[in-house]
């Protein structure tokens, strides 16, 4: 699959795409201010931001990647189906802590084709920080460098990677909110009624749901939207056009 030059951080970059499925899955963003500033704190060669908190777009499935890795490396890596055999990626998919390539390679047989591509394109010492929701690893931010990262650098990258991941995925998540939020009819109904200022009891009367059901729907909708509370969830739902 060819790598697109699309950068989701560019203004109006997603305007021509009607839904999340139509957006190129592998995107090369080249030079960018956010990454340049991060490199001043911890030097690295390449970065890749993978995964969305959406079914079929999560880390390791290869369906959403923003990166400045050489496009030819990504294309060869995907064409050879290396995500299915790369011990580093396989280890990272099941890890809830930072994964360092040298640690994984020390105890695994590494495909020779992968080692060849890494040498050819200078992709060394990959280090991945998992991005999680509750206990689910849905994304990752990975960094590469010719020399290994030290413990202090890894600690810093772990601290900032959630923000980096959010910066790259937020445009997609907001542009296709209705598609990716997976809000149920009950959650939508309760949010909609809550936007009129109704209490949970009032929402129950308006929708016919029991009080416990209303509170459950509001809570799950708030979590899916990524809001801190009911009021913020309503504001976000209105801003994203999920409710009028």
Task: State yes or no: pLDDT of 1 exceeds 70.
Answer: no
CA distance linking residue 4 with residue 23, whole number of Å: 9
Distance of CA 191 to the CA centre of its chain: 25
Residues 158 and 75 in one domain: yes
Token pair recorded at residue 207: 């929708």
Q: Which of 14-18, 41-45, 107-111 has the lowest mean pLDDT?
A: 14-18
Question: In this structure, is residue 203 part of a structural domain?
Answer: yes
Among residues of the chain, what percentage have pLDDT more than 70?
Answer: 95
Domain boundary among 129, 160, 177: 177
The side-by-side arrangement of strands in the sheet containing 65-67 is 26-28, 65-67, 46-50, 136-144, 127-133, 99-100
Token pair recorded at residue 39: 């490199």
> What digits encode the pLDDT tens for the residues 205-229?
999 999 999 999 999 999 988 899 9
Residues 146 and 85 in one domain: yes
Residues 61 and 170 in one domain: yes
Token pair recorded at residue 83: 């995500």
The residue that leads in pLDDT, 18 or 230, is 230
The residue that leads in pLDDT, 139 or 94, is 139
Task: State yes or no: pLDDT of 180 exceeds 70.
Answer: no
Residue 221 sits in a domain whose CATH number is: 1.10.10.10
In this prediction the pTM is 0.75
CB 128 within 8 A of CB 86: no
Domain boundary among 177, 198, 219: 177
Task: State yes or no: pLDDT of 151 exceeds 80.
Answer: yes
Q: How much is the pLDDT for 177?
A: 62
> What digits encode the pLDDT tens for the residues 49-86?
999 877 778 887 767 999 999 999 999 999 999 999 99
Task: State yes or no: pLDDT of 19 exceeds 90.
Answer: no
**E strand intervals along 41-167:** 46-50, 65-67, 99-100, 127-133, 136-144
Task: State yes or no: pLDDT of 178 exceeds 60.
Answer: no
pLDDT class for 131, splitting at 50, 70, 90?
A: very high
Residues 167 and 97 in one domain: yes
Q: How much is the pLDDT for 73?
A: 97
Question: In this structure, is residue 48 part of a structural domain?
Answer: yes
CB 130 within 8 A of CB 95: yes
Q: What are 27's strand-pairing partners?
A: 4, 66
Checking phi first, is residue 98 left (phi over 0); if not, alpha (psi -120 to 50) or beta? beta
Q: What is the DSSP letter of 82?
A: G
| Arithmetic mean of pLDDT, 10-14 | 87
Q: How much is the pLDDT for 41?
A: 97
Q: How much is the pLDDT for 182?
A: 74
Q: How much is the pLDDT for 241?
A: 64
Residues 87 and 43 in one domain: yes
Task: State yes or no: pLDDT of 125 exceeds 70.
Answer: yes
Q: Is 102 helix (H, G, I), strand (E, B) or coil?
A: helix
CA distance linking residue 233 with residue 196, whole number of Å: 13
The structural domain count of the chain equals 2
Residues 189 and 171 in one domain: no
Residues 138 and 228 in one domain: no
Question: In this structure, is residue 105 part of a structural domain?
Answer: yes
Residues 117 and 147 in one domain: yes
Residues 167 and 190 in one domain: no
pLDDT class for 124, splitting at 50, 70, 90?
A: very high
Domain boundary among 159, 177, 195: 177
Question: In this structure, is residue 10 part of a structural domain?
Answer: no
Task: State yes or no: pLDDT of 48 exceeds 60.
Answer: yes
Residues 145 and 46 in one domain: yes
CA distance linking residue 156 with residue 204, whole number of Å: 46
Question: In this structure, is residue 9 part of a structural domain?
Answer: no
| Arithmetic mean of pLDDT, 186-190 | 90
CA distance linking residue 67 with residue 131, whole number of Å: 16
Q: Which residues contact 207 (CB under 8 A, 6 or more apart)?
A: 186, 189, 190, 193, 214
Question: In this structure, is residue 7 part of a structural domain?
Answer: no
Mean pLDDT of the chain: 91
Rg (CA), the chain: 20
Neighbours of 65 (CB within 10 A): 22
Question: In this structure, is residue 189 part of a structural domain?
Answer: yes
Domain residue limits at 193: 185-240
CB 132 within 8 A of CB 98: no
Question: In this structure, is residue 5 part of a structural domain?
Answer: no
Q: Which residues of 159-169 are buried (b: 16+ CB within 10 A; e: fewer)?
A: eebeebbebbb
Among residues of the chain, what percentage have pLDDT more than 90?
Answer: 67
Residue 131 sits in a domain whose CATH number is: 3.30.450.80
Q: How much is the pLDDT for 103?
A: 97
Residues 124 and 59 in one domain: yes
Residues 149 and 197 in one domain: no
């Amino acid at each position: 699959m060819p790598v697109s030059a699309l950068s989701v951080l560019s203004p109006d970059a997603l305007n021509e795409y009607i839904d999340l499925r139509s957006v190129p899955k592998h995107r090369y963003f080249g030079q960018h201010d956010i990454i340049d500033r991060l490199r001043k704190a911890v030097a690295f060669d390449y970065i890749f931001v993978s995964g969305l908190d959406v079914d079929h777009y999560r880390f390791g499935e290869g369906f959403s990647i923003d990166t400045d890795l050489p496009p030819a490396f990504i294309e060869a890596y995907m064409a050879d189906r290396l995500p299915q055999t790369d011990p580093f990626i396989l280890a990272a998919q099941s890890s809830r802590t930072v994964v360092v390539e040298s640690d994984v390679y020390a105890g695994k047989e590494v495909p020779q084709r992968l080692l060849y591509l890494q040498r050819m394109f200078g992709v060394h010492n990959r280090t991945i920080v998992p991005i999680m929701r509750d206990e689910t690893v849905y994304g990752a931010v990975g960094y590469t460098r010719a020399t290994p990262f030290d413990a202090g650098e890894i600690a810093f990258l772990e601290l900032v990677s959630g923000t980096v991941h959010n910066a790259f995925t937020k445009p997609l998540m907001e542009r296709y909110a209705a598609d990716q939020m997976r809000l149920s009819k009950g959650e939508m109904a309760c949010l909609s009624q809550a936007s009129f200022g109704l209490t949970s009891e009032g929402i129950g009367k308006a929708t016919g749901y029991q009080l416990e059901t209303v509170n459950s729907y509001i809570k799950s909708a708030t979590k899916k939207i990524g809001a801190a509370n009911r009021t913020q969830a309503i504001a976000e739902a209105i801003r994203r056009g999920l409710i009028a």
